[in-house]
Chains A and B, each alone.
Chain A
């Protein structure tokens, strides 16, 4: 809207907007505060909490439990691993669907999307059983495979949309310039597709990191990522607010940062193009 709104109007809307934003963000803000408090202080009234002393003790305690770092690495490996594997499988598929479309392309794409809509609980037991028989229950390998499979439709979809945005004429020009398939892929397509591939990877890391069904049900002590580790606080002993806050802040911080950069990708990836 190019017309200048009055400053007074802008002030009012700004105040309302900021109020709403702070209310919504408050829980996250609060656990950041609590994470820097001692356990005894964390259960006091809000005023009591704010006026008590700040400390890094809770972070230290959480990190000292060697489990925490292990679970952190599990999250990293599972999120990054499933993303890389997914990209490996999805790039050729998205390439062929975007650049050599056939009559069945649309149908295949929609079918892929439909597999994402399968309720996980409906296949919980078979997967559980298969994993036991293959020896990959409570293993990072198993998780990487499952998370790759559930997010593959989204990765393919996003790459497909990014590839389609590359003008076909540029690839034809490369062909006329004497580029074989390998050269075309290497020198023209990939450089132009890298931003799209990066965005897709970002979104997928976020989705895999936060996944809380398979990571809860297919893991135990060895391969549990942060989602499961945090869940263990649901039956705690003694005072734990500050520790839970510290653990939570460390668990969500990387994703919050990544999420701020990936808003557009979120819309693209999770609405399957139905909203532009």
Chain B
């Protein structure tokens, strides 16, 4: 297939994409790195000179840092647990013969396609508002005091909202994986005397292990940079400031660019660690 003639044309055709992405990566990254070593406050004096690693130290030692780490871990971990467990359950359910299967799938997939700002605001107001929200009305129906979701139970509320958004993704991936399982394997297990639970535990689940890992890795990468849902519901209040939100506030709200940039570098390193694992799996698949 590859002759000398086609090889040079190929290189030319790849050029625009490679150049653009290279630029997209290098230019802003270098700038972030640059800013992280400076004291730069555009609203209060501008460029105030080099400060070495001071920003890096200040970011980590600030009183908001560790809470932000905790919040991030809680949100990512909480959403992962819920979406993976429920995702497996839903995927198993949807794999069964059901009446109206097409429509059930559509209904279950829908939340993923709702834009995050709509999602956040709809939950915050129409459902979680302690006065007029759906939950408030239901709670009152049973004579209970409505929960102040976003102010008193902000983390669970956020985890609930984000899990709602991402459950379809996990379900879809896991369903695809389940359906790729060769039914002959399950039939062989049945002939060997395994019952439904046994078949699930010894055949289906190991087969799903790969897909579950992928779901966890991909969701982690996207969940680490969750933004809009927090932006429109709590704006970081009530202890819902994740690392991403903290950096955002430093950079765009309080305009302490140097400090925020150092935070950004931390975020990039963190994401890269997760990415390495994901890319290894992707790479294995590319060779297959």
Contact = CB atoms under 8 A, between A and B. Distances in A.
Interface string A96-115: 11011110001011111111
A85 B130 CA distance: 45
A156 interface: yes
Contacts of A93: 13-14, 16-18
B134 interface: yes
Contacts of A54: none
A216 B227 contact: yes
Interface stretch (A58-66, A135-143, A191-199, A252-260): A252-260
Interface string B95-131: 0111111011111111111111110111111110001
A259 B113 contact: yes
A125 B141 contact: no
A8 interface: no
Given A20-B90, A121-B264, A213-B227, A96 B10 contact: yes
A231 B228 CA distance: 8
A275 interface: yes
A126 B28 contact: yes
Given A121-B267, A216-B227, A17 B7 contact: no
B156 to A, nearest CB: 17
Given A21-B107, A100-B10, A125-B261, A152 B98 contact: no
B115 A17 contact: no
Contact of B121 (A153, A234, A258): A234
A234 B232 contact: yes
Interface string B208-252: 001100100010010011011001110100000000100110011
A69 to B, nearest CB: 17
B153 interface: no
Nearest to A29: B107
Contact of A17 (B93, B180, B231): B93
B21 A25 contact: no
Taking each of B28, B123, B221, which has the highest tally of chain A beta carbons within 10 Å of its own beta carbon?
B28
A106 B16 contact: no
A121 B227 contact: yes
A38 to B, nearest CB: 14
A208 B121 CA distance: 20
Contacts of A123: 28-29, 31-32, 264
Interface in A235-276: 240-241, 244-245, 248, 251-252, 255-256, 258-260, 263, 266-267, 270-276
A210 B112 CA distance: 10
B264 A122 contact: yes
Nearest to A101: B2
B275 interface: yes
A33 to B, nearest CB: 10
A74 to B, nearest CB: 13
B248 to A, nearest CB: 6
Taking each of A17, A153, A256, which has the highest tally of chain B beta carbons within 10 Å of its own beta carbon?
A17
A226 B13 CA distance: 35
Given A28-B110, A230-B121, A121 B225 contact: yes
A100 B7 contact: yes
Contact of B232 (A110, A115, A231, A266): A231
Interface residues of B, number: 110
Given A14-B98, A252-B114, A271-B173, A149 B24 contact: yes
Contact of A213 (B7, B94, B221, B225): B225
A212 B113 CA distance: 12
Contacts of A241: 125-126, 132
Contact of B111 (A13, A27, A181, A244): A27
Interface string A152-183: 11001000000000001000100000000100
Nearest to A120: B225
Task: Report, nearest first, the 6 A-B pairs whose CB atoms are least far apart.
Answer: A212-B228, A96-B10, A259-B113, A92-B13, A123-B28, A126-B31
12 contacts: A2-B183, A24-B167, A45-B141, A110-B286, A119-B224, A119-B268, A124-B248, A206-B113, A227-B228, A255-B113, A271-B218, A274-B214
Interface of B: 1-2, 6-7, 9-11, 13-14, 16-18, 20-21, 24-25, 27-29, 31-32, 35, 90, 93-94, 96-101, 103-118, 120-127, 131-132, 134, 137-138, 140-141, 164, 167-169, 172-173, 176-177, 180, 183, 210-211, 214, 218, 221, 224-225, 227-228, 231-233, 235, 244, 247-248, 251-252, 257, 260-261, 264-265, 267-268, 270-272, 274-275, 278-279, 281-283, 285-287
Given A22-B107, A117-B278, A126-B32, 15 more contacts: A10-B98, A11-B99, A16-B93, A21-B107, A93-B18, A114-B275, A121-B264, A123-B28, A125-B257, A125-B261, A126-B29, A149-B21, A230-B118, A248-B122, A255-B115
